[in-house]
Amino acid sequence: MQSRLMSSIESVINILFGLFLSWLAWVVLIIPIFKIYPSHTDVLSISCIFTLLSFFRSYIIRRFFNRVNK
């Protein structure tokens, strides 16, 4: 079973990787395909919002499965 601390660490690493992929998707896919040009601040803000949501989602799901597997 995974401790709460290890669940948090795993979630943070997962989310940081997701944040990088989100930024990469904006630069490589969204801007060229949709021809929208948000500021870097807008892209960072949107990515941070989804990153926080992803962290909580990942942590809650991990804790749920740890509880089920006791």
Backbone angles phi, psi at 39, to 5 degrees: -70, 165
State the CB neighbour count (10 A cutoff) for residue 22: 20
10 contacts: CB under 8 Å, gap ≥ 6: 2, 58, 62
Q: Which of 8, 26, 27, 28 is nearest to 16 (CA)?
A: 8
Length of the chain (residues): 70
State the CB neighbour count (10 A cutoff) for residue 23: 14
Give me the number of domains the chain comprises: 1
pLDDT beyond 90 at 33: yes
**Three-state secondary structure call for residue 35:** coil
pLDDT beyond 90 at 34: yes
pTM (predicted TM-score): 0.61
| Domain span at 38 | 4-68
